[in-house]
Chains A and B, each alone.
Chain A
Amino acid sequence: QLQESGPGLVKPSETLSLICGVSGFSINRGYFWGWIRQPPGRGLEWIAIMYLSGSTYYNPSLRSRVTISLDTSKNQLSLNVTSVTAADAARYYCARHSAVSGAFDIWGQGTLVSVSS
């Protein structure tokens, strides 16, 4: 129901662009939508969440380089990460977040991103 897509490989200093297609329900329906990443063999790192109204929250450690957006016409969310380095190599997950429960209740399978010249 959530399917991430991305380039797979990005060069250092370039911009990483990811898309998450949502099927089976509308992103208009009262949830936050977010991105989480996981470097190989490591834990989960929250990146950002966004509500359709425009309320957006970012991880302060990534705030200067990331942008999350929602496209209701395509029922998808996007993430841009600028000036990537090797530290940005990870599996990137999109997920639905409920402000009522405070939790991510539906996750995509993730897309793996490598960084190399």
Chain B
Amino acid sequence: EIVLTQSPGTLSLSPGERATLSCRASQSVSNNYIAWYQQKPGQAPRLLIYGASSRATGIPDRFSGSGESETDFTLTISRLEPEDFAVYYCQQYGGSPRLTFGPGTKVDIK
């Protein structure tokens, strides 16, 4: 069973700073099937990144994703804008179970 662990649980930063969010899988994720979502209070999640590093349609280029290995993935927000303070989830597809979400990282204002 693939379990996703996200760190840190909470990231306290100021607007303009760089945010680095980690997602670690307990087993290799096939085909880099890692996605990242942003969720703001009272809203549905929004797809940011798929395939570990491809930005979804309409996502600003300050958001980037990378895969350091088949188990370690990173979401980077180069310069935080006020609207970026939210909870971020990673998700894997293709493993066992077929699909899982990580527990989330909250990015809040310092």
Contacts and interface: CB of A to CB of B under 8 A. Distances in A.
B44 A44 contact: no
B93 A103 contact: yes
Contacts of A59: 97, 99
Interface string A65-80: 0000000000000000
Nearest to B35: A103
Interface stretch (B10-18, B20-28, B48-56, B70-78): B48-56
Nearest to B30: A102
Which range holds the interface residue count of chain B? 20 to 34
A93 to B, nearest CB: 6
B44 A57 contact: no
B88 to A, nearest CB: 11
Contacts of A109: 43-44
B50 A101 contact: yes
Contacts, number: 68
A63 B44 CA distance: 24
Interface residues of A, number: 23
Interface string A84-101: 000000000100011101
Contacts of B91: 44, 46, 102-104
Interface of A: 34, 36, 43-46, 49, 57, 59-60, 93, 97-99, 101-105, 107-110
25 contacts: A44-B45, A44-B89, A45-B101, A46-B100, A46-B101, A59-B99, A93-B45, A97-B93, A101-B51, A101-B54, A102-B31, A102-B34, A102-B91, A102-B92, A102-B93, A103-B35, A103-B47, A104-B35, A104-B91, A105-B47, A105-B56, A107-B46, A108-B44, A109-B43, A110-B44
